[in-house]
């Protein structure tokens, strides 16, 4: 008897995209289908076969992300779908389990996804880990002397220029993707995208903006900068669209400071929940994680609970001098103990939520002293994820 889970190939693209179009309610032109197929070549697609037909599928996108100045392998989960007659049959659950276990074998330590339902994916160990802030700003608010040094030029596609600035910018945050040329072409720069770069006093590129204008609204698709001057160059550039737009829409990191630069900062803004994440291999993630070092020689014991990947369950000893290692023999510090789920561990180590915050919400348990120490060891970079899949 054939196994129901199959690694799909280009021969299965017709069935794959037929299911995607049905499940996500869109229709692809021949040109769009060709673009989707080109993107899918980087995916690892697992399908559940029932009666020789594709019943359900999960796409795993192999990526790398920045976490505390380290590059880690991240498996992106996308296009999770099944035909209606096969729903609630447990096929998606089994496919997710298979995909996560395959990630562990291939050295992935963390996974992201954009949820259709937060409670649904919490059952599988995922938790919210990325927010963004969205501004809608009347263009009149940009009417001030930004006083930047340098100039802005519209540019043609220059992935190298964009990627160098992008990489410097995202190093301030946790969790963003390392982009290659295909990702820039396929996922970031769209047909309607206008690109412009800010050049500082010495003539070197210092910032960029990707945007488009529609119905008198300037939509900032992405903005990145190395310095405050680079940002001010772009804000002045946006101001110069005042004859053609009435409003500017910008999505930025959750803890963005942009309103403080405006004379009138009271404009529309909203924080939105975005991507979820889960640690796939706790031991490997801890071994690769860059903690803040302290002078203490004590250790903390983490008791991690993970119902969906039992291999992650167990006790892990973390030295307060920054070294960490998995503990399998039970020889742990029984005083400095913290008990948490894999969901909350993910939030803490990405710096999305602090241990002391989660203690107040009773989402982690343990000695207050241990939680204080653990909080002090985790860097304070906020998460930011400017992409989508």
Model confidence pLDDT, tens digit, residues 251-285: 999 999 999 999 999 999 999 999 999 999 999 99
Whether residue 367 has pLDDT greater than 80: yes
Whether residue 197 has pLDDT greater than 80: yes
Q: What is the DSSP letter of 184?
A: I
Structure token pair of residue 233? 């160059």
Q: Which of 305, 292, 309, 294 is nearest to 381 (CA)?
A: 292
Helix, strand or coil, per DSSP, at residue 123: coil
The DSSP bridge pattern shows strands 70-82 and 276-279 to be: unpaired
Q: What is the DSSP letter of 97?
A: H
Measured CA angle at 267 (ends 266, 270), to 5 deg: 115
Measured CA angle at 299 (ends 297, 304), to 5 deg: 165
> pLDDT band at 324, cuts 50/70/90?
low
> pLDDT band at 356, cuts 50/70/90?
very high
Q: How much is the pLDDT for 106?
A: 98
- Rounded to two decimals, the pTM is 0.94
Whether residue 330 has pLDDT greater than 70: no
Whether residue 325 has pLDDT greater than 90: no
> pLDDT band at 335, cuts 50/70/90?
confident
Q: How much is the pLDDT for 332?
A: 65
Model confidence pLDDT, tens digit, residues 67-85: 998 999 999 999 999 999 9
Q: Which of 77, 102, 97 is nearest to 275 (CA)?
A: 77
Environment class of residue 133 by beta-carbon count within 10 Å: exposed (0-12), middle (13-18) or buried (19+)? middle
CB-based contacts of 211, cutoff 8 Å, min separation 6 = 193, 194, 196, 218, 219, 220, 221
Model confidence pLDDT, tens digit, residues 337-347: 999 999 999 99
Model confidence pLDDT, tens digit, residues 213-237: 999 999 999 999 999 999 999 999 9
Q: Which domains does the chain have, with CATH numbers?
A: 5-108 (3.40.630.30), 132-272 (3.40.630.30), 281-377 (3.30.1050.10)
Q: Which of 311, 299, 351, 293 is nearest to 97 (CA)?
A: 311
Model confidence pLDDT, tens digit, residues 148-193: 999 999 999 899 999 999 999 999 999 999 999 999 999 999 999 9
Q: Which of 203, 159, 204, 165 is nearest to 183 (CA)?
A: 159
> pLDDT band at 295, cuts 50/70/90?
confident
Whether residue 308 has pLDDT greater than 60: yes
The DSSP bridge pattern shows strands 217-225 and 247-253 to be: parallel
Q: How much is the pLDDT for 323?
A: 56
CB-based contacts of 289, cutoff 8 Å, min separation 6 = 67, 68, 70, 324, 349
Environment class of residue 388 by beta-carbon count within 10 Å: exposed (0-12), middle (13-18) or buried (19+)? exposed
Q: How much is the pLDDT for 331?
A: 57
Q: How much is the pLDDT for 320?
A: 66
Q: How much is the pLDDT for 328?
A: 46
Q: How much is the pLDDT for 322?
A: 55
As a whole number of angstroms, the distance between CA 342 and CA 311 comes to 11
The DSSP bridge pattern shows strands 217-225 and 53-67 to be: unpaired
> pLDDT band at 329, cuts 50/70/90?
very low
**Element holding 169 (H helix, E strand):** helix 159-170
Whether residue 327 has pLDDT greater than 70: no
Cα dihedral 18, 23, 26, 27, rounded to 10, equals 20
Helix, strand or coil, per DSSP, at residue 90: coil
Measured CA angle at 287 (ends 286, 288), to 5 deg: 90
Q: Please state the φ and ψ torsions of residue 349, each to the nearest 5 degrees.
A: -75, -20
Whether residue 11 has pLDDT greater than 60: yes
Q: How much is the pLDDT for 3?
A: 81
- What's the mean per-residue pLDDT of the chain? 95
């Amino acid at each position: 008897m054939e196994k129901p889970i199959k690694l799909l190939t280009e021969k299965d693209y017709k069935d794959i995209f037929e299911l995607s179009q049905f499940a996500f309610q869109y229709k692809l032109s021949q040109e769009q289908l060709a673009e989707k197929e080109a993107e899918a070549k980087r995916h690892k697609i697992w399908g559940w076969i029932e009666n020789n037909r594709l019943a359900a599928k999960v796409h795993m996108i192999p990526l790398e992300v920045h976490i505390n100045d380290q590059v880690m392998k991240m498996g992106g989960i996308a296009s999770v779908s099944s035909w209606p007659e096969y729903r609630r049959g447990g096929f998606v659950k089994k496919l997710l389990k298979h995909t996560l276990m395959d990630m562990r074998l291939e050295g992935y330590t963390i996974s992201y996804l954009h949820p259709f339902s937060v409670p649904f994916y919490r059952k599988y160990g995922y938790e919210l880990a990325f927010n963004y802030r969205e501004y809608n700003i009347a263009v009149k608010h940009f009417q001030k002397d930004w006083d930047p040094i340098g100039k802005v030029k519209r540019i043609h596609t220059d992935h190298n220029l964009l990627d160098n600035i992008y990489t410097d910018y995202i190093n301030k945050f946790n969790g963003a993707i390392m982009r290659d040329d295909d990702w820039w072409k396929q996922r970031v720069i769209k047909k309607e995208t206008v690109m412009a770069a800010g050049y500082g006093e010495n003539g070197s590129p210092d910032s960029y903006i990707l945007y488009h204008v529609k119905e008198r609204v300037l939509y900032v698709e992405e903005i990145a900068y190395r310095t405050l001057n680079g940002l001010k160059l772009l804000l002045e550039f946006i101001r110069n669209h005042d004859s053609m737009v009435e409003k500017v829409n910008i999505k930025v990191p959750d803890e963005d400071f942009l309103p403080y630069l405006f004379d009138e900062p009271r404009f529309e803004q909203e924080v939105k929940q975005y991507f979820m994440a889960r640690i796939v291999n706790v031991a490997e993630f801890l071994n690769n994680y860059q903690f803040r070092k302290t002078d203490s020689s004590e250790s903390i014991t983490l008791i991690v609970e993970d119902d969906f990947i039992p291999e992650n369950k167990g006790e892990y000893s973390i030295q307060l001098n920054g070294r960490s290692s998995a503990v399998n023999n039970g020889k742990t510090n029984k005083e400095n103990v913290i008990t948490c789920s894999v969901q909350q561990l993910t939030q803490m180590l990405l710096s999305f939520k602090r241990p002391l915050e989660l203690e107040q919400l009773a989402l982690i348990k343990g000695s207050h002293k241990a939680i204080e120490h653990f909080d002090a060891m985790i860097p304070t970079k906020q998460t930011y994820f400017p992409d989508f899949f």
